[in-house]
Amino acid sequence: MSGGPPKALQSTGPQSLRDMPHPLAGSSSEEAVGGDSTPSPDLLTARSFGDKDLILPNGGTPAGTASPASSSSLLNRLQLDDDMDGETRDLFVTVDDPKKHVCTMETYITYRITTKSTRVEFDLPEYSVRRRYQDFDWLRNKLEESQPTHLIPPLPEKFVVKGVVDRFSEEFVETRRKALDKFLKRITDHPVLSFNEHFNVFLTAKDLNAHKKQGMALLTRVGESVKHVAGGYKLRNRPLEFAAIGEYLDTFALKLGTIDRIAQRIIKEEIEYLVELREYGPVYSTWSALEGELAEPLEGVSACIGNCSTALEELTDDMTEDFLPVLREYILYSDSMKSVLKKRDQVQAEYETKLEAVALKKEERPKVPADVEKCQDRMECFNADLKADMERWQNNKRQDFRQLLMGMADKNIQYYEKCLMAWESIIPLLQEKQEAKRYPFIGKNQDMQSNGKKYQLFYSSFLILNLPSPTSYKMALI
């Protein structure tokens, strides 16, 4: 896996504030933090090889074959410039260090939550507590109850089908940790939710269970009257923006669902391709054992294919770990948003009902009764809160998806760069002692031209003339 935590669930140790990855950044920002140096060939070498060592036929890194600049680091620089917009923050929350706990009744995982803040609401500047998934679930429920007019970020799926997914596998735990981290960071970034008392308790309390028992006392007034009802409400005048958002969310969730399915299918196909590739490479080795002069070149090709296989495996892992979870998160987000919209509708319906009732009795009392006014207030508050949250959500969504797609593009580029490097490194090996001979060669020249593959010739010329690759031109432009 690329850049993942070590196999055993160990503590990652204390991290300084500056080293903590940017709240909304994905894994691709690993290099972005503190990365402002010009990507050098060494950087390319170091990061392209990942956790698994690439085997080169001659051993060691090939001299003079690294591209002048890595396209992948180019993308990272672009993302970095955008993320760091110099906001001043006074609350930082991180989720890390998953640990397995084995008790008589059950086995579960806890995560360490580290909080750093200068806010007055926090007694100490720093906190470190351990929480498990059900604690997060509790927090979310509390937030929904206490802040019904706001959008609460989603949690990763609660239930997993036992036997299909291993709840304690490294990949699953890491995926969940990232999602939980994101969840807390979204709350942290929210101007209202971050000041919520339940959130504070979650971050600071030594014994959360004691607090859970006192739950009822912390409910605020708005929470009581909200009843979740399935189905819509008949409204006179649903404000346009909320109607539009509702429709949008339906289509949005649908499209994301389709993309999720396609992505899963791609991963499946890639795995099957990988199986064949893993058989393909070694056949060249077998052949190499028969040959004399051809032995080294064939062995080189075998190693090359092996390297490409490894690179593909890393890419597929990345897709599973980084791409799919974000899709799922937004699908869950859409669901929870739809239920908030319903609540809003309900509040509006209540108001409209009351208004109508008053209107019927209008002859009697000319003034608007207090409770109708209160209803109107409530509705307008709700609308305002929701509208603000919607805007925030849209912005975040844009950022997140842009980052996601760029991140995937980056990973793809990294994959191709690894393959490129592998193949480029064996060219000198193959060209050794090769002179132009007068043996006919199967229609090579005519074929390439007749197909008019401009890219092939284009790039071949780069190779032959040893020009820098197109990517460096791109960098020069920017």
Partner 1 sequence: MEQAAPDPERLWQPAPLEPLSHPDAGLESMVGEETKGARDEGPGDGTMTENNFSLKKIEISVSEAEKRTGRNAMNMQETYTAYLIETRSVEHNDGQSVLTDSLWRRYSEFELLRNYLLVYYPHIVVPPLPEKRAEFVWHKLSADNMDPDFVERRRIGLENFLLRVASHPILCRDKIFYLFLTQEGNWKETVNETGFQLKADSRLKALNATFRVKNPDKRFIELKHYSDELQSVISHLLRVRARVADRLYGVYKVHGNYGRVFSEWSAIEKEMGDGLQSAGHHMDVYASSIDDILEDEEHYADQLKEYLFYAEALRAVCRKHELMQYDLEMAAQDLASKKQQCEELATGTVRTFSLKGMTTKLFGQETPEQREARIKMLEEQIKEGEQQLKSKNLEGREFVRNAWADIERFKEQKNHDLKEALISYAVMQISMCKKAIWDVLKDCAVLFFFCAPSGRKKS
Q: Which of 54, 93, 304, 375 binds partner 1 (CB under 8 A)?
A: 304
- Assign 3-class secondary structure to 302-368: HHHHHHHHHHHHHHHHHHHHHHHHHHHHHHHHHHHHHHHHHHHHHHHHHHHHHHHHHHHCCCCCCCC
Candidates 141-149, 164-172, 338-346, 445-453 — which segment interacts with partner 1 by CB under 8 A? 445-453
Round to whole Å and give the CA distance between 187 and 24: 12
**456 touches partner 1 by CB under 8 A:** yes
Q: Indicate whether 392 belongs to the interface with partner 1 (CB under 8 A).
A: yes
- Binding of partner 1 at residue 451 (CB under 8 A)? yes
Which residues, other chains included, contact 353 with Cβ-Cβ below 8 Å and sequence gap of 6+? Answer: none
> Among 32, 44, 69, 75, which residue interacts with partner 1 (rule: CB under 8 A)?
75
If the CB atoms of residues 130 and 278 are measured against partner 1, the closer one turns out to be 278
Decide if 47 contacts 71 (C-beta within 8 A): no
Residues 404-443 that bind partner 1 (CB under 8 A): 405-406, 409, 412-413, 416-417, 419-420, 423-424, 426-427, 430-431, 434, 436-443
Which lies closer to partner 1 via its Cβ, residue 107 or residue 399? 399
Q: Does 455 bind partner 1 (CB under 8 A)?
A: yes
**CB-CB contact of 345 with 227 (8 Å):** no
Which is it for the CA torsion 130, 134, 140, 143, positive or negative? negative
Q: For partner 1, which residue of 224, 279, 363, 364 counts as binding (CB under 8 A)?
A: 279
Task: Indicate if the alpha-carbon torsion angle 223, 226, 227, 231 is positive or negative.
Answer: negative
Query: Which long-range contacts does 396-405 make (Cβ < 8 Å, 24+ apart)?
Result: 396/24, 396/186, 397/330, 399/24, 400/24, 400/326, 400/330, 401/326, 403/24, 403/25, 403/26, 403/28, 403/79, 403/83, 404/26, 404/322, 404/323, 404/326
Asked if 280 touches partner 1 (CB under 8 A), the answer is yes
Which residue from 128, 336, 396, 472 is in contact with partner 1, where contact means CB under 8 A? 396
Q: Is residue 63 at the binding interface for partner 1, with CB under 8 A as the rule? A: no
For partner 1, the closer CB: 1 or 24: 24
Residues 82-121 touching partner 1, rule: CB under 8 A, are 82, 85, 87
Residue with smaller CB distance to partner 1, 171 or 424: 424
Binding region for partner 1 (CB under 8 A) out of 32-40, 111-119, 215-223, 399-407: 399-407
Using CB under 8 A, pick the residue from 119, 228, 255, 374 that binds partner 1. 255
- Whether the CB-CB separation of 46 and 54 falls below 8 Å is answered with no
Report how far Cα 194 is from the mean position of its chain's Cα atoms: 22
- Closer to partner 1 at the Cβ: 95 or 256? 256
Task: Kindly indicate which of the ranges 128-136, 195-203, 352-360, 455-463 contains the residues binding partner 1, using the contact rule CB under 8 A.
Answer: 455-463
Residues in contact with 149: Cβ distance below 8 Å, sequence separation at least 6, in sequence order? 222, 340, 344, 381, 382, 385, 386
The one segment of 109-117, 126-134, 289-297, 342-350 that binds partner 1 by CB under 8 A? 289-297
Q: For partner 1, what does the binding mask look like between residues 334 and 373, x meaning CB under 8 A? A: ----------------------------------------
* Residue 96 β-bridge partners: 112
Q: Say if CB 97 and CB 6 are below 8 A apart.
A: no
Using CB atoms within 10 A of its CB, is residue 432 exposed (0-12), middle (13-18) or buried (19+)?
exposed
Residue 24 near partner 1 by CB under 8 A: yes
Query: Is 466 among the residues that bind partner 1 (CB under 8 A)?
Result: no
Cβ closest to partner 1, residue 15 vs residue 451:
451
Dist CA 110 CA 89 (whole Å): 27
The minimum distance between CB 395 and partner 1, in angstroms, equals: 6
Judged by CB, which is closer to partner 1: 168, or 458?
A: 458
Residue 189 found at the interface with partner 1 (CB under 8 A):
yes
